Amino acid sequence: MVPPTTPAPLLAPPLSSTVDVTSPEFRQNRADMLEQLEVIDDLLDQAAAGGGEAAMERMRSRGKMPVRERIAAVLDPDSPFFEVSALAGYDSDYAIGGGMIIGIGVIAGVECVILANDPSVLGGALTPYAMKKWYRAMEMARDNRMPYVSFVESAGADLRVDTEGGGRRANTTHFAETGGLFYELIELSKLRIPTIAVVFGSSTAGGAYQPGLSDYTIVVKEQSKIFLAGPPLVKMAIGEDSDDETLGGAQMHAEISGLGDYFAEDEMDAIRLCREVVSHLNWRKPEPAPDRPGDEPVHDPEELLGLVSRDLRQPVDIRDVLARVVDGSRFEEFKPRYGSTMVCGWAEIHGNLVGILGNNGVIYPRSAEKATHFIQLCNHLDVPLIFFHNVTGYIVGKDFEADGIIKKGSQMLNAVSNSTVPHIAVIIGASYGAGNYGMSGRPFDNRFTLLWPTAKIAVMGPKQIAGVMSIVRRGQAARKGLEFDEEEDAKIVEMVEAVQEQGSLALVATGAVSDDGVIDPRDTRTLLGLCLSVVRNRPIEGARGYGVFRL
């Protein structure tokens, strides 16, 4: 008998579902979700507008394409672009998007990380949010071993000083941050991950090192301007008179300095050259794609809109989510009768076999024990892990401490930390405290983190935080022999709860670049399929050893 060359399809039966789409609760959840998605769509439109219509027209009048048109032109026809952290800078005094676009797209048949300065926003200056996105772009390239393409047009650091109380200040940390970014860019090349810079305009000071540190540099006639110091600073520093073109123009760098490897006649020619460079990289995935297409879920993904309430105290069975995401709604559940608040099992997404962990409540000792076992199994099988978060944390209380919640919770954290298969997190509801860590949140080095609009991320629930602080104040008053002001305390509790609730929201988290974006629940399956394709750019190998487990 000849052994199979590819894994057999999963034989698990489809999940059943008892979701009542006619119930008032479902209808309300759906209406609330659509309302939140409308807000997100409006913010995405603002991000796409960059520096505004006038700035876009000014670019066009100079023969330049807006940055999103550049990205669209370099991608293979009809291929997707997964934009990451699109709403960076939300709820700040910076433009939404932070003046930079990062994401993953297919160029000449190769999945690449793409970074692009948006010159319509502060001339492409590096805002604090752009810096965070730049780090994230290089992290994606490194962790997933993907070619890194940068579209450079930046005025350098945003060194404006706050004169009107808007929250800005001179960016005194820029020096250290930029140095770290240069180091990461050099590391990519050291790891034999190709780096390509296409310089569309001014690339000054720190921005000049982007092409200088890249493997390949493409310059554009009469547009690229690359120099450590522009004419005004050169005049002030050494008294030398110069102009942009002779000091750092494309022709000079292509013919004299040698910084420009390819000379483009215009922007479309630069994009053509970029595609040609990618085409010669001889880039191949070590992990083959699934040999069969994934079949659609049995249950309608449209119904994902009505599953999660804005009030996260309302329970949701994670199996109902999985039934509308995985191939054929098939799910082979592991230990279904043990540690029932942790749902573990195997499924396929677009033909990719994955291990899934999902929360059906707080994590109990047995839930943590089951999760630990399952994570180890997936590492033995070299199977990627997907974590669906809806958890308020690990259980507390005398009985559970005696039952070893610290020990068994630590085993789960150990398993997550030592796991070497790719991890992807989807936060659909609460992700509080150590529950976020145990479910492989961003601090635990997962490859991608996606949020539903209903996601909330915090140390603990807002009510719990406000209540704990009230108990502490009450204890302090008692120790000092002071009368406790119940009325004043109630006001503080209400204020703290409101502040913590606002700070935990998905939009606030994504604005701080703590994840990869807030998504429409109906896009969950598509984006997971894209992420699973991306992680196959690097060999998928499970851990062969673990740290000490306290048994």
> Which tens digit of pLDDT belongs to each residue from 330-355?
999 999 999 999 999 999 999 999 99
Window from 370-374, 445-449, 496-500 with minimum mean pLDDT:
496-500
Count how many domains the chain has.
Answer: 3
Which of 227, 249, 279 delimits the end of a domain?
A: 279
Q: Are strands 342-349 and 352-359 parallel, antiparallel or unpaired?
A: antiparallel
pLDDT at 283 over 60: yes
Q: How many residues does the chain have?
A: 551
The pLDDT, as a whole number, for residue 161 is 46
Same domain, residue pair 219 and 152: yes
Q: Are strands 448-451 and 456-458 parallel, antiparallel or unpaired?
A: unpaired
* Within-domain flag for 509: no
**Residues linked to residue 219 through DSSP beta bridges, in sequence order:** 199, 263
Tokens of residue 337, six digits: 């009768």
C-alpha to C-alpha distance for 281 and 226, rounded to whole angstroms: 25
DSSP string, 413-478: HHHHHH--S-EEEEEEEEEEHHHHHHTT-GGG--SEEEE-TT-EEESS-HHHHHHHHHHHHHHHHH
Give the residue numbers spanning the domain of 380: 15-48+289-459+514-544
Question: What backbone phi and psi angles, to 5 degrees, belong to 151?
Answer: -100, 105
Say what percent of the chain tops pLDDT 90: 71
Same domain, residue pair 434 and 468: no
What one-character DSSP code corresponds to residue 157?
Answer: B
**Residues linked to residue 427 through DSSP beta bridges, in sequence order:** 389, 451
- 287-337: pLDDT as tens digits: 888 888 889 999 999 999 999 999 999 999 999 999 999 999 999 999 999
Same domain, residue pair 353 and 273: no
| Higher-scoring residue by pLDDT: 26, 174 | 26
Which of 245, 279, 313 delimits the end of a domain?
A: 279
* Within-domain flag for 266: yes
* Within-domain flag for 55: no
* Within-domain flag for 57: no
Same domain, residue pair 422 and 492: no
Same domain, residue pair 196 and 345: no
Closest by alpha carbon to 287, among 188, 383, 403, 178?
383
Which of 229, 246, 279 delimits the end of a domain?
A: 279
pLDDT at 460 over 80: no
pLDDT at 160 over 80: no
Question: What backbone phi and psi angles, to 5 degrees, belong to 451?
Answer: -115, 140
| Higher-scoring residue by pLDDT: 18, 112 | 112
Same domain, residue pair 226 and 308: no
Instruction: Give the residue-averaged pLDDT of 150-163.
Output: 72
Q: With contact defined as beta carbons under 8 Å apart, do 537 and 148 qualify? A: no
Same domain, residue pair 519 and 497: no
- 17-58: pLDDT as tens digits: 989 999 999 999 999 999 999 999 999 999 999 999 998 999
Residue 484 pLDDT level (bands cut at 50, 70, 90): confident
C-alpha to C-alpha distance for 158 and 167, rounded to whole angstroms: 13
Give me the torsion for CA of 368, 371, 376, 381, rounded to 10°.
Answer: 180
Instruction: Give the residue-averaged pLDDT of 247-257.
Output: 93
Burial of residue 387, with CB atoms counted within 10 A of its CB: 0-12 exposed, 13-18 middle, 19 or more buried: buried
Same domain, residue pair 210 and 351: no
Helix (H) or strand (E) holding 134: helix 128-144
The pLDDT, as a whole number, for residue 168 is 47
Q: How high does pLDDT run on average in the chain?
A: 90
* Within-domain flag for 317: yes
Same domain, residue pair 400 and 498: no
The CATH number of whichever domain residue 88 belongs to comes to 3.90.226.10
pLDDT at 172 over 50: no
pTM to 2 decimals? 0.92
Same domain, residue pair 394 and 328: yes
* Within-domain flag for 508: no
* Within-domain flag for 124: yes
pLDDT at 2 over 60: no
Q: Are strands 385-391 and 423-432 parallel, antiparallel or unpaired?
A: parallel
Same domain, residue pair 321 and 293: yes
* Within-domain flag for 391: yes
- 390-401: pLDDT as tens digits: 999 999 999 999
pLDDT at 366 over 70: yes
- 189-248: pLDDT as tens digits: 999 999 999 999 988 877 788 999 999 999 999 999 998 877 777 777 787 777 788 888
SS3 at position 196: strand
Same domain, residue pair 235 and 114: yes
